Amino acid sequence: MKKADITKQQLAESTGYSYQYIYDLLNGRRRWNEESLEKVCHSIGLEVNVVSSVSAQTPNLPEHTSERLREVLAENKRLCEEVGNLKTAIKALTKGW
């Protein structure tokens, strides 16, 4: 934004978002998504290309293989979430020890 010499208010106006929404994005109070990232980057003169890491790494796999890969990745995500929940529970249980 400094290089583009654009303020948060100007960024809000050029993206169609409210000032508060832009403020929250920039301060980590809201999550970026593909649309918000694209609008903000366009407004400050940056080009953004969002590429799925799965499709980028496996462009020529047969369809059934890609489906199985998606299943494995979904299961991996679920297991990671469970591990995170377990870590939180262990911290809570051992807090006073």
SS3 2: coil
Q: Which residue has the higher pLDDT, 83 or 8?
A: 8
How much is the pLDDT for 24? Answer: 93
How much is the pLDDT for 97? Answer: 53
Q: pTM for the whole thing? A: 0.51
Which own/partner pairs from 52-58 qualify as long-range (CB within 8 Å, at least 24 positions apart)? none
Q: What is the pLDDT of residues 7-46, one digit of tens each?
A: 999 999 999 999 999 999 999 999 988 889 889 988 998 8
Poorest-pLDDT segment among 4-8, 10-14, 65-69, 77-81: 65-69
What is the distance between the alpha carbons of residues 5 and 26, in angstroms, rounded to a whole number? 16
Give CA separation, 73 vs 2, 3, 20, in Å. Answer: 38, 39, 35
Quick check: 6 and 44 in contact, CB under 8 A?
A: yes
